[in-house]
């Protein structure tokens, strides 16, 4: 076995790239060109006599998720903001947010003037649980945001039981979980609102984009207005030359509308999603069989009633001590050098993330008073820390190739483990 590639040795994988992401073909280009040629690049522009692409995508995405309603928006972050505003969360309120997540759920709560109360996560899945939510509850808690993280699903039974008993709405952040299922139903359809991101790296990508889904008609009306300057879709089809938005103005909104060009990309991408899921699942199954033979390694577990995962960031868990005293970050560096693609540990949990700095903005500084900060981050986060110390992640596109990729990943893990003393 040659020296580690990170120390100048020969890498396990040479001369071969990894599958590209996002995937597109002539059909994608045709959709985008048709959108350009229509001259209607925004919902807030006179109709050409056909339904706007962002509305057609919303209909398709609602169907995909088995819910009656969906509103397209410009980012996953806006989806969270619209979800919180639809539920009328605001100053004086607290919202439970997992510590293990991208920063957007916490900043969305701040943006509506409420306090994000970070809670610990399960040490094997990185998701919040009924127990960790309980540790953050107070009489001010007005919502819980659950993030279905990476390639697993949070334990929705326990969480829904708790939020149901407490009478607190659940927002499901599904930015990393498009198409995952719990007890046979798509995630995002269990809470009051589900929020999605279509940012470039997501399994359903449009560069930038987002959506909220709901089964509640009242929340749907509010969400439409909150994202289109207080306007909503008309009740009847509109002829060419007229706007496909009417000024309802029941609640004041802002502009978080999805561009028609993004919607064109999504209309092309959505029908590809399930085949891509199946492909990733096949390669992940193969990899997991091989990891079982290796010992020391295993996948991020899926709770019993999660009957389909969505692999956004694929995670490998390793037993403490597998790589001697090397940190997960150093192991990931070594693995990346062997494979010629990025592996990385989970982002630092939000309670110590450099991205969560409310005091740097005047409108959030008061929320981050000594008391506010203590409520937000003053609890035990040992589950999240253990998750970070023993997890290696890679982007889902690594699972869109074939069995030879599995061989390379397994050989790289074996090599780095075998030469751990050099790290
Ligand atoms: C869990 C989670 N929520 C929200 C977002 C925000 O989505 P966007 O980048 O589209 O604003 C992300 C993006 O990575 C995410 O991972």
User: Following CA atoms 205, 20, 299, 181 in sequence, which dihedral angle do they give, to the nearest 10 degrees?
Assistant: 30
346 in contact with ligand 1, CB cutoff 6 A: no
Best mutation site among 72, 74, 75, 76 for ligand 1, i.e. most ligand atoms within 8 A of its Cβ? 76
Over its length of 423 residues, how does the chain's per-residue pLDDT go in tens digits? 689 999 999 999 999 999 999 999 999 999 999 999 999 999 999 999 999 999 999 999 999 999 999 999 999 999 999 999 999 999 999 999 999 999 999 999 999 999 999 999 999 999 999 999 999 999 999 999 999 999 999 999 999 999 999 999 999 999 999 999 999 999 999 999 999 999 999 999 999 999 999 999 999 999 999 999 999 999 999 999 999 999 999 999 999 999 999 999 999 999 999 999 999 999 999 999 999 999 999 999 999 999 999 999 999 999 999 999 999 999 999 999 999 999 999 999 999 999 999 999 999 999 999 999 999 999 999 999 999 999 999 999 999 999 999 999 999 999 999 999 999
Q: SS3 of 245, please?
A: coil
Rounded Cα distance between 402 and 409, Å, is: 12
pLDDT at 1: 66
Which has the closest alpha carbon to 146: 100, 82, 200?
Answer: 100
418 C-beta neighbours (distance < 10 Å), count: 11
Question: Is the peptide bond preceding residue 151 cis, with omega within 30 degrees of 0?
Answer: no
Atom of ligand 1 nearest to the CA of 108: 4
The pLDDT of residue 2: 86
CA of 84 to the centre of ligand 1 (A): 15
CA of 196 to the centre of ligand 1 (A): 8
Distances (CA, A) of 336 to 167, 231, 249, 403, 423: 46, 48, 52, 19, 13
Ligand 1 contact, 147 CB (< 6 A): yes
């Amino acid at each position: 076995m040659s020296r580690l590639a990170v120390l100048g040795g020969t890498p396990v994988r040479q001369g071969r790239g990894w599958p590209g992401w996002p995937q597109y073909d002539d059909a994608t280009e045709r959709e985008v060109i048709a959108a350009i040629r229509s001259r209607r690049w925004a919902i807030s522009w006179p109709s050409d006599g056909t339904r706007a692409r962002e509305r057609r995508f919303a209909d398709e995405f609602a169907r995909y998720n088995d819910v009656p309603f969906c509103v397209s928006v410009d980012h996953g972050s806006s989806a969270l903001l619209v979800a919180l505003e639809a539920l009328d969360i605001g100053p004086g309120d607290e919202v439970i947010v997992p510590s293990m997540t991208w920063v957007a759920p916490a900043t969305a709560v701040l943006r509506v003037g409420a306090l994000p109360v970070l809670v610990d996560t399960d040490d094997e899945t990185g998701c919040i649980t009924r127990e960790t939510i309980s540790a953050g509850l107070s009489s001010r808690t007005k919502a819980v945001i659950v993030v279905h993280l990476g390639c697993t699903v949070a334990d929705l039974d326990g969480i829904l039981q708790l939020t149901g008993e407490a009478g607190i709405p659940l927002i499901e952040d599904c930015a990393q979980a498009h198409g995952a299922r719990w007890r046979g139903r798509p995630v995002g359809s269990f809470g009051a609102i589900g929020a999605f991101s279509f940012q470039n790296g997501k399994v359903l990508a449009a560069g930038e984009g987002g959506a909220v889904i709901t089964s509640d008609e009242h929340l749907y009306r509010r969400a439409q207005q909150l994202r289109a300057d207080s306007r909503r879709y008309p009740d009847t089809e509109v002829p060419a030359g007229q706007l496909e938005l009417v000024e309802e103005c029941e609640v004041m909104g802002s502009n978080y509308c999805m561009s028609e060009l993004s919607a064109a990309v999504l209309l092309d991408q959505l029908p590809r999603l399930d085949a891509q899921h199946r492909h990733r699942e096949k390669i992940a199954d193969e990899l997991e069989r091989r990891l079982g033979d290796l010992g020391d390694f295993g996948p991020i577990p899926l709770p019993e009633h999660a009957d389909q995962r969505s692999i956004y960031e694929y995670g490998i868990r390793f037993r403490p001590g597998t790589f001697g005293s090397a940190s997960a970050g150093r192991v990931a560096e070594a693995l990346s050098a062997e494979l010629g693609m990025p592996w990385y540990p989970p982002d630092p949990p939000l309670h110590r993330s450099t991205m969560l700095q409310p005091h740097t903005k005047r409108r959030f500084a008061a929320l981050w008073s000594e008391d506010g900060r203590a409520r937000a981050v003053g609890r035990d986060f040992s589950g999240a820390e253990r998750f970070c110390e023993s997890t290696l992640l890679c982007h889902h596109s690594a699972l869109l190739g074939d069995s030879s990729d599995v061989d390379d990943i397994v050989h790289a893990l074996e090599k780095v483990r075998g030469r751990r003393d050099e790290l």
